[in-house]
Structure formats: structure tokens, C-alpha cells
């Protein structure tokens, strides 16, 4: 009886939320992988939040822990990945306390994720129309014909030409851009509260990338969704996001409104990221140091993990992990350069 009541509750439409209401809060999240000398903390003490209808960018080099964090939020992490500490609050409930049965009703209905490689996320043995329709059947309990009608409508909404014909196509018959549009249609079909987009244009050409990002932003706004966008492209962050979280080797180095972080980058890592952006009107003078890299960082380091590459590193950076301090309202940085006193 309790299970049936749970199913009924989780099938209900999302509760309306105010634009300033907190939707997601990640609190002191730490995640580890197994290593030769024990478990290695690849995400360490990460905290950030997202408000309803807000777009937040998660940036950093490959290996920073961005995707690992996103998978933990969706509760899609698999062994040997292990969440060691922290809480993930979504719509006022701790996701880490949910059973897999409960999570299956939350994913897709209230939160969805667009992955890097759309073809690997689509079933090669099912027609794409049936895959999109399946979302409506599972999450909204619609009949087959009604679900297919909704699926065809979603394909039109995401810009698929001749939607009725493409409903019968298999994934291998579609281009990368078309496959990504199909995946977006599946992820926003039930108008979730939160959309996580993890490098959604990987492998696509520049023109298609722009179209996909424009589509994601339009869907996010029209469906009043919050979004966590993971990308290396700072230009995309500037265009699509309101706030940003900067990660390096599993640590959150800086957070704040996009315009303030771009105008006043405080952490040396964020400054270097901005300096590494190619511009036609400037001569290249500085970039991230060639010595070292995230893959060479000792993740077991208890001090600042950016110290081996930081041009401003001090003795204290090698001895103690810096505290996170506010440099202005809503703008924080984890660096000894801003420590009190």
C-alpha cells in the first residue's frame, strides 16, 4: 500500500516554485575513487546551490570533478565511486536518503540530465519516437497512442524536420545534432524542475553547437526550468548562465554571478582560464602553465590543490587548505590571498 501511494505521489505534477526559491543545494559533498594506497578524494567538500529557474555554469578543466559531481546529484554514480560525506537537497528532500525506486520517479519527472554523447544514451534497437513516447508512458502514465502524439509534438518543438517521419527512425540514421535534439526532447518532455547538461555539444561542429545551445536555453526558459550547465566554453557560460561555479581538482575555487566573476576574477586559476581564451584583438601573452596538470596533482594533498601550478603560491598554500571567503555579496573564493588578516 505504501509503495502504491508513493507511486501516486511521484507521478503528480511538480509543485510550482518561486523564481528565488532554492531548488538544489549541494552541501560539503565528497566523493572518492579507489587508488593504490586507499581511496582518493576526487571531489572534496563541494558546496553550491541553484535557485528555481536559474542557470548555473559549472566550469573547469577536464578532470576537475564536474561530471562526477553531476552524476552524484542524479544518483547515477556506480561502484567503485563512493560518496563519503555530504548531502544533496532537491526540492527540500535529501536525495542521498532515497531508495532506487523513489529515484526512478524523480529522474525524468523532476530532474533530467543531457549527457555528452547522445548516441550512447539512445537505445540503438528502438525507434526514436518510441523512446521519447516511453518517457510519457512511464512518467505520466499515458497510453501508447497518446504518448506517441506527445512525442511527435516534442520532436517538432526541438526543431526536428518532418517529425512524423523521424519518429520511425533508428538512432544510427540520425546525425549527431539530430541525436542530441532527440535526447533533449526526452529530457525536457515532462518539464522537470532541473536540467543538467553535461558538455552537451561534445563532438559536434561549431554551427551545430550554437544551435544546440540556443535550443537548450530556449527550452529552459519556456519550460521554466533551472539548469546546471557543465562546459569548458567560458563564452557559453557568459551567454547562457547567471551564476558560475569554478572547480579545480575536486575543489570549488570560486563562485559568483557570471558578470562579477568575469569582471573581477579573484582566484589565480580563474584569471588563467580567462587569459587562455583566444581573442583576435589580443596577442597571446599568458596561459595556464605548461608544467604540471590536473592529472599530476596529488589528490590526497590536504592543502591547496592548485598550489603546484599557481604563480602566486605562498608557503601557507602548501601547508593548509584555504578557507572559502566572500569578497563581495554572492561572490566567494577559496584562496589564501583573501584570508582575513
| pLDDT tens per residue, range 210-228 | 888 998 998 899 889 999 9
Domains (ranges, CATH) in the chain?
A: 2-241 (3.40.50.300), 265-341 (no CATH)
Q: Could you tell me the pLDDT band of residue 13, with boundaries at 50, 70 and 90?
A: very low
Q: Could you tell me the pLDDT band of residue 208, with boundaries at 50, 70 and 90?
A: confident
Q: Are 77 and 114 in contact (CB under 8 A)?
A: no
Q: Are 242 and 56 in contact (CB under 8 A)?
A: yes
| pLDDT tens per residue, range 252-267 | 999 999 999 999 999 9
The torsion defined by the Cα of 49, 52, 58 and 64, in degrees rounded to 10, comes to 50
pLDDT at 19: 60
Give this prediction's pTM. 0.86
Is pLDDT of 298 > 60?
no
Q: Are 52 and 20 in contact (CB under 8 A)?
A: yes
Is pLDDT of 278 > 90?
no
Helix, strand, coil percentages (3-state) for the chain, rounded to 5, are 40, 25, 40
pLDDT at 52: 96
Distance, in Å, from the CA atom of 77 to the CA atom of 100, rounded to the nearest integer, reads: 12
Comparing 62 with 5, which gets the higher pLDDT? 62
Q: Are 270 and 253 in contact (CB under 8 A)?
A: yes
The widest CA-to-CA distance across the chain, in whole angstroms, is 68
Tell me the average pLDDT of the chain: 86
Is pLDDT of 18 > 80?
no
Q: Is 306 exposed, middle or buried (0-12, 13-18, 19+ CB in 10 A)?
A: buried
**What is the pLDDT averaged over residues 151-179?**
91
Is pLDDT of 6 > 60?
no
- Give me the percent of the chain exceeding a pLDDT of 90: 58
Q: Could you tell me the pLDDT band of residue 205, with boundaries at 50, 70 and 90?
A: confident
| pLDDT tens per residue, range 237-255 | 999 999 999 999 999 999 9
| pLDDT tens per residue, range 95-140 | 999 999 999 889 988 999 998 887 788 999 999 999 999 999 988 8
Q: Could you tell me the pLDDT band of residue 232, with boundaries at 50, 70 and 90?
A: confident
Is pLDDT of 206 > 80?
yes
Q: Are 215 and 132 in contact (CB under 8 A)?
A: no
Amino acid at each position: 500500500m505504501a509503495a502504491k501511494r508513493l507511486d501516486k505521489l511521484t507521478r503528480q505534477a511538480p509543485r510550482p516554485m518561486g523564481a528565488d526559491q532554492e531548488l538544489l543545494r549541494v552541501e560539503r559533498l565528497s566523493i572518492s575513487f579507489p587508488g593504490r594506497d586507499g581511496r582518493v578524494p576526487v571531489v572534496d567538500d563541494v558546496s553550491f546551490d541553484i535557485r528555481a529557474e536559474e542557470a548555473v555554469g559549472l566550469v573547469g578543466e577536464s578532470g576537475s570533478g564536474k561530471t562526477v559531481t553531476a552524476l552524484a546529484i542524479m544518483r547515477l554514480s556506480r561502484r567503485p565511486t563512493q560518496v563519503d560525506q555530504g548531502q544533496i537537497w532537491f526540492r527540500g528532500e535529501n536525495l542521498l536518503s532515497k531508495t532506487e525506486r523513489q529515484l526512478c520517479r524523480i529522474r525524468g519527472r523532476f530532474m533530467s540530465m543531457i549527457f555528452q554523447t547522445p548516441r550512447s544514451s539512445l537505445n540503438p534497437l528502438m525507434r526514436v519516437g518510441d523512446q521519447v513516447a516511453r518517457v510519457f508512458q512511464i512518467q505520466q502514465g499515458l497510453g501508447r497512442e497518446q504518448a506517441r502524439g506527445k512525442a511527435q509534438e516534442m520532436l517538432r518543438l526541438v526543431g526536428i524536420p518532418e517529425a512524423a517521419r523521424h519518429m520511425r527512425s533508428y538512432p544510427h540514421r540520425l546525425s549527431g545534432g539530430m541525436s542530441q535534439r532527440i535526447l533533449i526532447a526526452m529530457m525536457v518532455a515532462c518539464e522537470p524542475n532541473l536540467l543538467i547538461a553535461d558538455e552537451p555539444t561534445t563532438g559536434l561542429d561549431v554551427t551545430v553547437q550554437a544551435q544546440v545551445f540556443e535550443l537548450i536555453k530556449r527550452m529552459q526558459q519556456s519550460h521554466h526550468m533551472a539548469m546546471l550547465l557543465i562546459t569548458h566554453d567560458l563564452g557559453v557560460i557568459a551567454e547562457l548562465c547567471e551564476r558560475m561555479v569554478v572547480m579545480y581538482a575536486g575543489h570549488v575555487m570560486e563562485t559568483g554571478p557570471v558578470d562579477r566573476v568575469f569582471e573581477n576574477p579573484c582566484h589565480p586559476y580563474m584569471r588563467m582560464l580567462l587569459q587562455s581564451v583566444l581573442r583576435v584583438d589580443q596577442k597571446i601573452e599568458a596561459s595556464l602553465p605548461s608544467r604540471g596538470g590536473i592529472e599530476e596533482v596529488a589528490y590526497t594533498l590536504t592543502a591547496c590543490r592548485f598550489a603546484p601550478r599557481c604563480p602566486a603560491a605562498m608557503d601557507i598554500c602548501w601547508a593548509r587548505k584555504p578557507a572559502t571567503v566572500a569578497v563581495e555579496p554572492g561572490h566567494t573564493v577559496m584562496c589564501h590571498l583573501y584570508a582575513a588578516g
